[in-house]
Amino acid sequence: MNSALQPVTDKRSQAHRPLVWLPACHRNLDLSDPGGYTVLADRYAAAVCQLGLQPVLFPMAGAEAVHDLLPLVDGVLLTGSPSNVEATHFGAAALPTDLLDPRRDRLTMALVREAVAVATPLFGVCRGMQEMNVALGGSLYQQVHVEAGLLDHREPQDVDLEAQFAERHEVLLEPGSAFAEWAGGTRAVVNSLHGQGIKRLGDGMVAEARAPDGLVEGVRVASAGAFAYGVQWHPEWRHEYIPFYRRTLDAFAAACREHAQQRLEAN
Amino acid sequence: MNPREPACPRSDTLSDTRVPTVWVVASHRELGNEHGHPQLYTVMDEVGTRTLLNLGLQPVCFPRAPVARLPALLDGVQGVLLGGSATNVNPRLYGEEPASEGMAFDAEREAVSLPLIRLCIERGVPLIGFCRGSHEINVAMGGSLHQNLKLRDGGVEHWEDPDESLDAQYAERHDVSLQPGGLLEQITGCGRMAVSSLHSQGVKRLAPGLVAEAFADDGLVEAFRWHDAAQFAWGFQFHPEWGHQQHARYGKIMAAFVEACWARLGAVPLHR
């Protein structure tokens, strides 16, 4: 009754790629085209392809779909976005200036918890890391730059994209952590384009990278049965040229491949 | 090019879905980020997606699917949907130069859609296209398009008024006559119906293997299908996905696609 069509491909010799679910964002395109759109910044899909993985997007999937869809993929990549995690998810009120994406929040809150519970590789970038933290019970600074003792982690306004994504500050990496392994030492320099930041860590999360002001910038979900890391910076930006970024993404890709192998053996 | 190509087992099919999965082919647009810097985005309009969800199908999209992997990815889905878009099919794909400067194209979409259409027909995967999507089906199979119907002066206004609301743009704008004795007449149970119309390109020469099923009063092909009816492959110049709950004929068209997807899955819909 519920059996799926069996693959009929005659191209078995070609390499196959693990699937990575990238939750999309939702926005209008412009004033002349006011319809709602599901969008994904192409650089994340491009990076996933370069890792030898296949991006997959389930448009408009809600929390209720996670249970059915997550078993179909080998990893979850939570991307960055201009929108902020709505503060109601950690017991605060959204700011009037917040750009929000409540539909993405609803999906990712459930997706993070399920991925951790069933050991699907999980990697969060910027908003994605913040979603991991909030989904697991943590909280965020809604404006890092107004907190006493914390730096302004936002990108400069009036420069081009290259300059906005330039390396901006150091991060201190926990000795012996995977971050230190990827960086080849306990210090690295990263880009910084965010207004929100981790305040209280979520359950089972460990801070393994910190900015010079102490802000948590890299996390591991110790309670997860598979690769589950988040970073506040953007390793998908110029990862071809920056070994620290590349090794970080490679580690995620390796975890996805391992998951694909397990999924194959289970079928 | 990629030194990190993995040697890994087949896993890029969605092999465990319990409802038919439909690949919605995405469009690509440069959108401003919060600082106005344009960046390339994969974009999917929500109307097509919502229609699939409301009909009990699972929409999926594979951004940047490489051509070599289209067959394997197609094996994991039970239908393909090609929606409309503000961009035009590049006339070079049917052997013409662009008639005007500044036409908006989407080469990334065509890199996926054209080979995918041919694969669907080769392998019997249900395929449905609306507006630009129908143009792609016609061009993929060797047909050509009118680049600008406004210059054709056929007496029917096929294009929307940009100052209208979206709902007004998608309202029925003109009638079409269905091919007497044709399949669309059977599906919809009528010989003439009012349809939405938001396009300035349209089918000029219908590709070999395609059969016209509906015409506007100026003779423009408004619906066509693959000649072998055992293969569900239809192109509609109008938008049956927009308002399928209000427009009974649209509902029947969408229901026919849903049925074809379930048949491809080898199961019957649970609500039957």
Q: pLDDT for B108-145, tens place per residue?
A: 999 999 999 999 999 999 999 999 999 999 999 999 99
CATH number, domain with residue A125: 3.40.50.880
Residue B15: pLDDT over 80:
no
Task: Test A82 with B34 for CB contact under 8 angstroms.
Answer: yes
Per-residue pLDDT, averaged over B147-153, amounts to 90
* pLDDT at residue B34, as a whole number: 67
Instruction: List CB contacts (< 8 A) between A38 and chain B.
Output: 43-46, 49
- What sign does the CA torsion over B99, B101, B102, B108 have? positive
Q: Do the Cβ atoms of A36 and B46 come within 8 Å?
A: yes
Alpha carbon distance A73, A75 (integer Å): 6
Mean pLDDT lowest among A45-54, B167-176, B182-191, B247-256: B167-176
**Alpha-carbon gap, residue B43 to A25, rounded angstroms:** 10
Distance CA(B101)–CA(B114), nearest Å, equals 23
| CATH number, position B67 | 3.40.50.880
Inter-residue contact B49 to B56 (CB < 8 Å): no
CA-based nearest distance A125→chain B, Å:
17
Task: With respect to residue A8, please indicate whether it lies within any of the assigned structural domains.
Answer: no
| Partner residue opposite A5 with nearest CB, options B26, B59, B265 | B265
Q: How many domains does chain B have?
A: 1
Distances (CA, A) of A128 to A180, A194, B219, B259: 21, 12, 52, 38
Tens digit of each residue's pLDDT (9 = 90 or more) over A59-115:
999 999 999 999 999 999 999 998 999 999 999 999 998 889 999 999 999 999 999
**Of residues B17, B28, B39, nearest to A72 (C-beta):** B17
A16-20, A122-126, B22-26, B217-221: range with lowest mean pLDDT: A16-20
B247 pLDDT more than 60: yes
| DSSP designation for A14 | S
pTM, rounded to two decimals: 0.90
**ipTM, 2 decimals?**
0.88
Largest Cα separation within chain B, whole Å, is 59
Going by pLDDT thresholds of 50, 70 and 90, the confidence category of residue B37 is confident
Token duo for residue A60 = 């408009």
pLDDT value at residue A6: 33
Predicted confidence (pLDDT) at residue A190 exceeds the cutoff of 60: yes
DSSP B19: S
Within-domain flag for A210: yes
* Domain extent for A189: 19-26+35-266
Residue B58 domain boundaries: 21-91+104-265
Lowest mean pLDDT of A254-263, B64-73, B154-163, B229-238, name the range: B154-163
B5: pLDDT strictly greater than 70: no
Please give the share of chain B, as a percent, with pLDDT higher than 70.
Answer: 90
Segment A202-237, tens digit of pLDDT: 999 999 999 999 999 999 999 999 999 999 999 999
Q: How many domains does chain A have?
A: 1
Decide if A49 is catalytic.
Answer: no
Position B243 scores a pLDDT of 86
- Is A236 marked active-site? yes
> What's the pLDDT at B166?
82
Is the confidence at residue B164, as pLDDT, over 80? yes
Q: State the best of A42, A154, A258 to mutate against chain B, taking most chain B CBs within 10 Å.
A: A42
